[in-house]
């Protein structure tokens, strides 16, 4: 794919601003001359962390997610601050969400969460060598204490429909692929 295959942005304007994201309207012209309107939720990006305790268990949390109208079981995650490096965000979010600092942090991939309407890109990490070192969390979050789960327990929870959070589902795939390449697991 070349730049000539991409549509030209004819016009772009801010529709709505929030503390976390902006909604931007755009008019695009495709190479064949068609023009279309798009609305995009411009998001600064985020991190999601597979936090592994000393026994190799994943540390998850439940959090109320208003669009889903329920508490979701998910891995720790959070939004990048302006100009913040994703590694720094991952370290901060671990401390805020589960109360642990990572002795080792390794990026294992990334994913566009819903590219049909948002620019949100999530950087995925594995955090190990955890030590208790909490930071105060965000006022607007309602997080549980960390819930340890083995990978098998987590996969069973997915099968039962107890984990439906997209970032956590993506994390399982990235983790398993990383673990296979690293020789940590063989299936």
Active site members:
139
CB 4 within 8 A of CB 31: yes
Which residue, among 69, 79, 13, 67, has the nearest Cα to 43 in the 3D structure? Answer: 79
| Pairwise CA distance, residues 162 & 14, whole Å | 37
Q: Are 30 and 10 in contact (CB under 8 A)?
A: no
Between helix 166-182 and helix 151-159 the angle, nearest 10°, is 140
Residue pair 100/132 in contact by the 8 Å Cβ criterion: yes
List the structure tokens of 133. Answer: 């070192």
Q: Which two tokens stand for residue 15?
A: 């529709």
What CA–CA distance (Å, rounded) separates 12 from 21? 16
């Amino acid at each position: 794919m070349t730049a000539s295959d991409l549509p030209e942005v004819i016009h772009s304007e801010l529709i709505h601003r929030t503390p976390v994201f902006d909604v931007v309207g755009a008019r695009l012209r495709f190479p064949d001359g068609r023009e279309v309107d798009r609305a995009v939720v411009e998001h600064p990006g985020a991190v999601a962390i597979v936090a592994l305790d000393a026994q190799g268990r994943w540390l998850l949390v439940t959090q109320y997610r208003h669009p889903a109208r329920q508490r979701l079981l998910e891995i720790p995650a959070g939004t990048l601050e302006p100009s913040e490096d994703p590694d720094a965000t991952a370290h901060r979010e671990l401390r805020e969400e589960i109360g642990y600092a990572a002795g080792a942090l390794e990026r294992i991939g990334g994913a566009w969460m819903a590219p049909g309407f948002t620019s949100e890109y999530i950087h995925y990490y594995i955090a190990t060598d955890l030590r208790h070192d909490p930071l105060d969390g965000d006022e607007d979050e309602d997080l549980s204490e960390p819930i340890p789960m083995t990978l098998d327990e987590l996969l069973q929870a997915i099968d039962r429909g107890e984990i439906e959070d997209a970032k956590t589902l993506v994390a399982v795939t990235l983790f398993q692929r990383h673990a296979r390449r690293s020789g940590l697991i063989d299936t």
